[in-house]
Amino acid sequence: MILVTGGAGFIGSNFVMDWLRWHNEPVLNLDKLTYAGSQYNLSTLHGDVRHVFVRGDICDTQLVSALLAQYHPRAIVHLAAESHVDRAIHGPAPFIKTNVDGTFSLLQAATAYWSALGAHERNVFRFLHVSTDEVFGSLGPDDPPFQETSAYAPNSPYSASKAASDHLVRAYHRTYGLPTLTVNCSNNYGPRQFPEKLIPLVIVRALAGEPLPMYGDGQQIRDWLYVGDHCAALRCVLAAGMAGETYNVGSRNEKTNLDVVEGLCDILDSLAPAPWNLSYRRQIVHVADRPGHDRRYAIDASKVEHMLGWKPAMSFESGILKTTQWYLDNDVRTHDESWREKANGIGQHYGEAGRS
């Protein structure tokens, strides 16, 4: 069995389903079910005996220790995190609590558990920590992509909290020998993402006839990674990654925010034409940029490609079409009656960090 934290969130739920699609090895899924986590994301696993769900907080070391003792997992995949940059700007405390304190608590419990294992079990155990490219800061237009050796330079409370968690994971490997793995990924997109993030927010607001606010000139550049490709990379790193190593995962799909939004509008024009017979592009409205907005992220994924044999399978064009169709087929507005309240004040603009 493996333990997955945050397995009811966006990447977490996709990873759990991806794992059970490729493995019969059961999953113990620990999730607090905050605003961005939902049992709906796991509805297809109802009745699957390979999936054990526990509602709980990674900050609860006693609970985590009890689960480790009861279920005896051979690995922990740590995906639980607060991830939305705008929310971190308005209220950073939950990000420190979950991303820093939570990771620390999880590491404490994992180290105690691992230390008590037999020699063989200690050798095969892994703690896989999932992080973000935002810990490296912002790139200029001609700068080379981030590598695993890039200096940390977080520019938001969110990225600072993730940088701190990365450092804690590294320290627990170097100090205590805990066999850790860290993945720093680029912006994820795909099904089951809470509609405060760029792509689902555009789809929901466009279909509702609402304005599509665009930060600044919309020329902020992100590398877009389809969540299914990310899940495949995590399986690959967990299976063959070297303890103590860090792996950058990206897809070399650099797009400006404006290009992404306009492309989504064009897809919606084709798949779900507006009843008012105008392009959804007409709903785009430029607004004041957010504080400390990083201009460009880009990932060099050559290490995981060359050393572990992983490569993204989905082109951005195919992935964005597949994602849009999923949201049209699964209207996120009906999943949770309070979704607008949950996104209130944050969903006014585009959130970009797509890792929760």
Rounded distance between C-alpha atoms, residue 30 and residue 2, angstroms: 11
Q: SS in 3 state form for 7-46?
A: CCCHHHHHHHHHHHHHCCCCEEEEECCCCCCCHHHHHHHC
**CA–CA distances in Å: residue 213 to residues 85, 183, 224, 350:** 16, 31, 20, 7
Rounded distance between C-alpha atoms, residue 1 and residue 44, angstroms: 20
Q: Which of 35, 57, 86, 158 is catalytic?
A: 158
* Residue that has been written with the tokens 């709903």 in this structure: 283
Q: Which of 86, 133, 223, 254 is catalytic?
A: 133
Rounded distance between C-alpha atoms, residue 193 and residue 140, angstroms: 29
CB of 215 closer than 8 Å to CB of 293: yes
Token representation of residue 45: 């696993």
Active-site residue, 223 included: no
CB of 354 closer than 8 Å to CB of 189: yes
Per DSSP, helices labelled H in 147-219 are 157-176, 198-207
Token representation of residue 30: 């620990």
Q: Which of 18, 57, 82, 134 is catalytic?
A: 134
CB of 125 closer than 8 Å to CB of 320: no
Active-site residue, 82 included: no
Active-site residue, 31 included: no
* Residue that has been written with the tokens 């201009």 in this structure: 295
Rounded distance between C-alpha atoms, residue 49 and residue 129, angstroms: 26
Query: What is the helix (H) or strand (E) element at residue 269, kind and residue range?
Result: helix 257-271
CB of 164 closer than 8 Å to CB of 100: yes
**CA–CA distances in Å: residue 100 to residues 76, 81, 131, 132, 167:** 17, 9, 12, 14, 10
Q: What residues are labeled active site?
A: 133-134, 158
